[in-house]
Amino acid sequence: MKKVTFKKSNGSSDIVRACYELEAEDLYPAFKQNNFATTQEITARSFASLQLRAKNAVKALINSKNRNILMLCAVNRIDQCKVAAAIVSEVSDKSVLIAKAPSRRELFGDASCKSVLLSYDVVIIPCVHLNDHPKWIGLLEDFLDKNSHAKLILTGDGGDCAELMVMWPQLEHALQADLVLEFPSVGGMELMAGLIKHYQKKDPEIKDFDEDAVRLLCMYACRESGDRRWLGLPEEKIRSLIEDASFFAKGETVAKRHVLKSIAAMDFRINFLAESELRDHRDRQILISTQGAVVGQINGLSVIETAGTSYEFGEPVRITATARAGGEGDVIDIERKAELAGQIHAKAMMIINGYLTKEFGSDQPLPMSASLVFEQSYSEVDGDSASLTGLCAVISCLAKVPIRQDLAVTGAVDQFGDVQPVGGVNEKIEGFFKVCRLHGFTGTQGVVIPFSCVNQLVLRPSVVNAVKKGVFHIYTVAHVNDAVKLLTTMDWDADDGRDTIRQRIVDHLYEVANGKEEIPWWKFWQKNED
């Protein structure tokens, strides 16, 4: 990490002001050498064994004499019922049944059929099934009161659990626990290797993995979590990668190249939309400049979610700003005016207004208004990750200073100008990287991200190699002033009377307020006739 500039903050913020250019080794997590050559040397560890919170709760449920309901809450990226059953089997010898959609007869029994709640020691039911049959809730509560030895585990995501608790308030007194997908990356190599070994025991087609292959899977897991200090383990997805890599290995020990191939194959199956967007860039149907400098125009970075899959990809977006004399002295958000913006985006635009008012309008209203728009955007925009981008575009417009088009920007900003973290940084960087590669590298292209997002970085080898060769650059900033410096090559402010961004804006506002803008053409002719 190389320092580019450093300035002391003049504001009230405690955030350290700094600007750095990241080096290749800053772009991915480092997993040190370990004490195994292949997973053959590692003890197996199941995904269920990692669920310490849930294991504690299941033990409490089984041993309790007066509590017979446990609610396990998790995201939808794991098979909640299957994991819950595996936990029960790990901590006890109790019989367990997964009843994903039991009928009323199966659940409560009748003269010819015994209730599953009485036939098994522990029964697991998804919350959504009871949400779909709210009339059963009262019956189930009475049944469990009369059969206190019956044990019930309810599973679901946060929304399903919350909905059921509204209809069944007594669940507030039930045992509750989380199923988690994120685990510390410290010791992550052994954890991932143990998970692979566990799958090997269940499926003989899964081969041994060498150390580099395990390391790459750990990097992938860090990217899944959004923080390289944590492994994100959506079990079904990780298992699919392990199975695919074993298939590509064809009897060999699974190496790094096989894992890369499995990741590429998975992406290929669901990345049609991303490839279509890239084709539009190639055909100039989407206008993004990766060279030159333009006043009031900047490259923003967005993340596109593909419906029906977990696949996300980065997409650069051209953001433009214009200014005019008069108005209410605010920034008009055209996306919001066109009802194409969500509430968080609207808040972010108001924060831009707040920063400009603090800097230039604390004593009197601003004599100018600005308009901000996401060009070629035809769907709803939300989130605050473009607030730094929008603010820089407005500053460029007010100062009449061009912005570098070979850089793209993402980041949220507060009213003091401090840059705050955003999500999807890896996808955003890779999205602009692909467009730059398509248009041709100049050696100066790159992205500007919040300094606080460094721990999110787990970038693809193509980006890492480009940074290593010096053809692509990744900069971090902690304050809007430093972003402006990178984008315009001009300082925000100075004490020695040098030409600065701030001074240009002040001069421009003064000229407008005092009517010293360029005389309109019709006034010129009127003056000559007089």
Q: Which residues, including other chains, have CB under 8 Å from residue 485's CB and lie 6 or more apart?
A: 5, 19, 491, 492
The whole-number pLDDT of residue 375 equals 86
Question: Would you state the pLDDT for residue 494?
Answer: 81
Residue with the two structure tokens 């959609």: 101
C-alpha triplet 489, 492, 495: angle, nearest 5°: 115
Burial of 411 from C-beta contacts in 10 A (0-12 / 13-18 / 19+): buried
Instruction: Give me the pLDDT at residue 524, please.
Output: 47
pLDDT (0 to 100) of residue 14: 40
**Pair 380, 340: CB distance under 8 Å:** yes
> Do residues 238 and 221 lie in contact, with contact meaning Cβ atoms separated by under 8 Å?
yes
Catalytic one among 237, 428, 434, 485? 428
- Please name which of 211, 216, 166, 218 lies closest in space to residue 187, comparing C-alpha atoms: 218
Kindly state the tokens that stand for 483. 């972003």
The pLDDT value given to residue 16: 43
Q: What is the 3-state secondary structure (H, E, C) of 277-329?
A: HHHHHHCCCCCCCCCCEEECEEEEEEEEECCCCCCEEEEEEEEEEEEEECCCC
Task: Tell me whether residue 385 is one of the annotated catalytic residues.
Answer: yes
- Domains of the chain, earliest start first: 2-25+282-513 (3.30.230.10), 52-178 (3.40.50.300), 184-270 (1.10.8.60)
User: How far apart (Å, rounded) are the C-alpha atoms in residues 206 and 282?
Assistant: 41
pLDDT number for residue 174: 93
User: Of the listed 385, 387, 396, 485, which one is catalytic?
Assistant: 385
Note if the pTM is more than 0.85. Answer: yes
- Check the CA dihedral 506-508-514-516 and report its sign: positive
Q: Please tell me the predicted confidence (pLDDT) of residue 8.
A: 44
Q: Which residues contact 320 (CB under 8 A, 6 or more apart)?
A: 296, 297, 298, 372, 373, 375, 393
Per-residue pLDDT in tens (0 to 9) along the chain, 530 residues:
887 754 444 443 443 456 889 999 999 998 887 778 888 888 999 999 999 999 999 999 999 988 999 999 988 778 899 999 999 999 999 999 999 999 999 999 988 889 999 999 999 999 999 999 999 999 999 999 999 899 999 999 999 999 999 999 999 999 999 999 999 999 899 999 999 999 999 998 999 999 999 999 999 999 999 999 999 999 889 999 999 999 999 878 999 999 999 999 999 999 998 999 899 999 888 999 999 999 999 999 999 888 777 789 999 999 999 888 876 666 766 666 666 567 777 787 788 888 888 888 777 777 777 888 888 776 666 677 888 999 999 999 999 999 999 999 999 999 999 999 999 999 999 999 999 999 999 999 999 999 999 999 999 999 999 999 999 999 999 999 999 999 998 988 887 767 889 889 888 888 887 775 555 544 444 545 54
Please list, residue by residue across 295-330, b when 16 or more beta carbons sit within 10 angstroms of its beta carbon and e when fewer do.
Answer: bbbbbbbbbbeeeeeebbbbbbbbbbbbbeeebebb
Note if 428 is an active site residue.
yes
Give the pLDDT score at 513.
Answer: 77
